[in-house]
Structure 1
Amino acid sequence: MTTENSNGSIEIQIENNIATVTFSHPASNSFPSELLQKLTDELNALSKNTEVNIVILQSEGTTFCAGASFDELLSITDFETGKKFFSGFANVINAMRNCSKLIVGKIQGKAVGGGVGLISACDFAFAYQDAAIKLSEIAIGIGPFVIEPAVSRKIGKTAMTELTLQPNNWQSADWALAKGLYADIFDSFGELNEATLAFAKKLAGYNPEALAEMKKVFWEGTENWDKLLYERAAISGKLVLSDFTKNALSQFKK
C-alpha cells in the first residue's frame, strides 16, 4: 500500500509478520506536515494490526532524512501555524513510542534535525557506514526542542549537547555507534539490508505479547511526552517567527 503525492510518499509492505515502512520525498526525504501526519497515522494503524509483530522504518535514496521541510518552515507567519508545524514531529515520535510493535530503523544515509529524532525514537537501529548525523537547528535561530527528549534518552545529555552546539559539524556513523544511537554499522548497503531483515525475522519469531510488554518497559519514564513534546513545539513555533530566524532562513535560501 502506498500513500503518495507531490509531497512525498509512505509505502507499507507486510510480509512474514514484518511491516516495512518506507518514506520518501524529493527534497532529501524531508518531511512536510502532510507527510508527517501520514506517517503518524500509518504507525498508529500498525500498532493495532494483529498481523504485524515488528516494524522496519526506512527511506528511499541515499539520504535517510533531512528533517523538517525547509519550504514549509519558510512559509510560517504566525504562532499557531508554527506550533502545529513543529507538532508534526511530536506526533510521529509519540506514535513510535506508543506503538505496540518494536521498531527497527534501517539508516542508509545521513540524517539532519528531525531525522535524528526519528532514529532516536526507533527501538533499535542499524546503519550504513556513511550515515552521519547533524543537528543544525540552532544555526537558524531555533533548536531541536521537540526531538531533544528522544535524542537525549538514546545518547545522553552530553552527546546531545555536542550535537546541538555544533550545528555545522557532521558526526560520523562511528560516533553515533559509540554513543548508542546505532546498534551496528555496515560497510555496504547489501550487508545493511541483510542484517536488518535477519534481525527483524528473528524478533518476529518471538512471543509478540512478550515483545509488546518489553517495549513498555523500554519506554518507562516517558509518559509525560504526551504533554512535553507539544510544549517544546510551542517554543519552536515562537522562535521561528523571530527576526533572527527569518534573516537566517532568508540567507540560507540564498
Structure 2
Amino acid sequence: MTTSGSILTEIKESVATVTFSHPASNSFPSVLLQKLTDELCNLGNNDTIALIVLKSEGTGAFCAGASFDELLSITNLEDGSKFFSGFANVINAMRTCSKPIIGRIHGKSVGGGVGLAAACDYTFATKDSAIKLSEIAIGIGPFVIEPAVSRKIGKPAFTEMTLTPTQWKTPQWAKENHLFSEVFDSVEELDDHLERFVISLASYNQEALMEMKKVFWEGTMHWDILLYERAAISGRLVLSDFTKEALEKFKK
C-alpha cells in the first residue's frame, strides 16, 4: 500500500473480491477513486465473473470518505468539481456494473464511505459498522452520494443523517433503514456468512443475475447528469473559508 492507496483484486472461480486501502482510514484521494472506477468497469465487462465483493483493508474504518488532504489542496472550482466527480464516477460505475456488488462493511463509514455502502446491491456489516454523514459540519454536503443513499434509506432518514452530522447511526439503525442487509456480532461471523452467500449466489444463472441488476437500478439513468451537477455544488462549497477552517480543525 502506498500513500495514495491501492486497489487489489482477487478472482476465485467466478467471484471477484476488490479491496481498497489507504493509510488514512481507507479514505479516498482522486487517484484511488479513479482506480476503483476503472477496476469496477473492467470487472463488469469480464464474462467469467458472476459477482463482485467490495471490501477495505484492515480492522479499523471501512471508509472515511474523501481525503481531507486533497480537499484542503483544492483552490479553484474546476479542481473542486473534478475531485467530487470522482465519487460520481465510482457510484455510476457501481450502478451500471453488470454484476451484483456485495459490500463487506467491517467498520465505520463516513460521508463517501456511506455512499459506497449504499451503492452496493447487498451489504454485510458488523456491530462496529456505525455510519455518519459529517459533510454539513465542514461546510459542504453529501450532494453526490445523496441519490444512492436516499435510494436505500429514503429521504426522511437521509435528512435525519444529514442534519445530525456529528452523530453516529448504529448498524441496527442502518439495517432497519435498509442500508445494511445483514449485521453480525463479529467480523468472523460476517465472513462466514459472506462466504456462503457468495458461493450460493455465484451458482445461479449469470444471465439472470445480470438482468436483475438492471431491474435493481431502474429509474437511475439520469444520474449520468445529476451526480456531476451535484459534484459542481460540492466543488464550489469546498472553496469557502468556512470549509477550509473546518477541515483544518478536523485534521488537528
CA deviations 1:181-230 (Å, max 9, x no partner) are 11110111111011111111111111111000000001000000000000
Match of 2:200 in 1: 202
Local SS of the residue matching 1:105: strand
Match of 1:43 in 2: 40
Structure 2: distance between partners of 1:91 and 1:250: 27
Q: CA deviation at 1:6?
A: 2.3
Local SS of the residue matching 2:11: strand
Match of 2:23 in 1: 26
Match of 1:109 in 2: 107
- Number of equivalenced pairs: 251
Structure 1: distance between partners of 2:225 and 2:246: 29
Q: CA deviation at 1:244?
A: 1.6
1:91-110 to structure 2, matched below 5 A, reads: 91-110=89-108
Q: CA deviation at 1:60?
A: 1.1
Local SS of the residue matching 1:227: helix
CA deviations 1:7-62 (Å, max 9, x no partner) are 11111000120000001100000000000000000000000001100100000112
2:217 to 214, 219, 241: 219
Match of 1:228 in 2: 226
Q: CA deviation at 1:251?
A: 2.6
Structure 1: distance between partners of 2:52 and 2:249: 39
Match of 1:142 in 2: 140
Structure 1: distance between partners of 2:2 and 2:250: 27
1:193 to 183, 191, 194: 191
Q: Does 1:129 align with 2:127?
A: yes
CA contact (8 A) 2:2 2:22 kept: no
| TM-score calculated relative to the size of structure 1 | 0.97
CA deviations 1:143-185 (Å, max 9, x no partner) are 0000000000000001101110000000000110110011110
Structure 1: distance between partners of 2:107 and 2:201: 24
Structure 1 stretches of 4+ with a deviation exceeding 3 A read none
Structure 2: distance between partners of 1:54 and 1:74: 36
AA paired with 2:124?
A: F
Cα-Cα RMSD = 0.8
AA paired with 1:107?
A: I
Structure 1: distance between partners of 2:67 and 2:122: 25
CA deviations 1:114-144 (Å, max 9, x no partner) are 0000000000001011100000000010000
2:56 to 47, 59, 72: 59
1:88 to 86, 96, 117: 86
Local SS of the residue matching 1:5: coil
Structure 2: distance between partners of 1:5 and 1:247: 28
Match of 1:244 in 2: 242
Structure 2: distance between partners of 1:234 and 1:13: 35
Structure 2: distance between partners of 1:176 and 1:143: 20
Q: Does 1:11 align with 2:4?
A: no
Structure 1: distance between partners of 2:195 and 2:233: 39
AA paired with 1:39?
A: L
Local SS of the residue matching 1:223: coil
Q: Does 1:151 align with 2:163?
A: no
| TM-score calculated relative to the size of structure 2 | 0.98
State, as a whole percentage, how many aligned pairs show the same letter.
Answer: 67
